[in-house]
Structure formats: C-alpha cells, structure tokens
Amino acid sequence: MSFDRIQEKSKNYEINQIIFSYQKKNFYIKKGVEELIFGSENFERSLKLTDDIDEITFNSILGGDILEHTFSKWIKDSLERNDEKYKTLKKDCSIKAGENLKEFILNNLNLNSEKILELLQIYDQPYYYGKVSAQCTYIKYKVTMNAK
C-alpha cells in the first residue's frame, strides 16, 4: 500500500517537518515524533509510523477531505511521476478491475452489446469532454466514435 511508501520516505524528515503540502487548500502531511500527521489548520489525523493497517482502516481514520487533499495529492506528486513499481501496480490494478467489470456484466446484468456500449459511453459519433489540469489548464479530449 502507498502508506508503506510514505512511512519509508518519512525517515528522511525531521520531527514537525512538512513532507507534503497542498497549498491550494492548506492541507499537509508532516512527521511527528512517532506518527505521520495528516491535516489542515482546522483538524488533524495521525497514524503511528509503526502501524500496519489495511486500506479500509486507513481510509476511515483519515476521512475523505484529508485523503483527497493530502494523501492522494502526495501519491500523484511523488509516486505517479517517479515510481516505476507504482506505475506497474496501477496498470495491473486497472487490468484486473476491467476483467472484474467484464465478469460482473456478463454474469449479472444480462446486457446486450448496445446497452454495454451505452453504459461505457461508446457512441456512434465522436464527442468531447473537458478536464482542468493541476496547473489550471483546460484540456479537451476527443472520444472517437465506435467502429462497429
């Protein structure tokens, strides 16, 4: 899990030193005496550096705002760009999720091919969707049409 990676990285930091800061929302991750502290000016949550916890427990302790504005940003900033093992695991996870979705659809939903295309938003004509990047740049993507 990614928590293992930040536990390891924290060894390179002094007590009360900020490991990661998301300036836009004033959220941070910093090293405590025996814990990692996730939070903002208004609230903090901490996890012991020695904790060996599963993902569900980790998520419930931190809560949605902290996960979104600290840990997920740290993953994007620190792991997605630089960590080949993380990229490989993310790819493997995506492939497995796709296989699981396919099995679920085939075994439970009784959908025909037209309904599956609609569910996955695959249309007979091209369309566009937009996204704003971390640098506030608007990016427009073209989704090509279904080649029957």
In angstroms and rounded to an integer, the radius of gyration of the C-alpha atoms of the chain is: 20
Residue 91 within any structural domain of the chain: no
Domain total of the chain: 2
Residue 64 within any structural domain of the chain: yes
Residue 148 within any structural domain of the chain: yes
Q: What is the pLDDT of residue 96?
A: 92
Residue 95 within any structural domain of the chain: no
Query: Residue length, the chain?
Result: 148
DSSP 7-64: HHHHTTS-TT-EEEEEGGGTEEEEE-SSEEEEE-SS-EEEEETT----HHHHHHHH-H
Same domain membership, residue 68 and residue 18: yes
Q: What is the pLDDT of residue 45?
A: 83
Residue 138 within any structural domain of the chain: yes
Residue 24 within any structural domain of the chain: yes
Same domain membership, residue 76 and residue 18: yes
Q: Which of 57, 83, 93 is nearest to 45 (CA)?
A: 57
User: Which of 54, 80, 106 is the last residue in one of the domains?
Assistant: 80
Q: What is the pLDDT of residue 134?
A: 64
Residue 82 CA to its chain's centroid (Å): 15
Q: Are 40 and 22 in contact (CB under 8 A)?
A: no
CA distance linking residue 59 with residue 53, whole number of Å:
10
Same domain membership, residue 137 and residue 71: no
- Give pLDDT < 70 ranges for the chain: 1-2, 24, 65, 67, 69, 71, 133-137, 146-148
Q: What is the pLDDT of residue 147?
A: 60
Residue 87 within any structural domain of the chain: no
What is the model's pTM?
0.52
Residue 106 within any structural domain of the chain: no
Q: What is the pLDDT of residue 77?
A: 74
Phi, psi dihedrals of residue 94, rounded to the nearest 5° = -65, -40
For 62, the domain range is: 2-80
CA distance linking residue 37 with residue 43, whole number of Å:
10
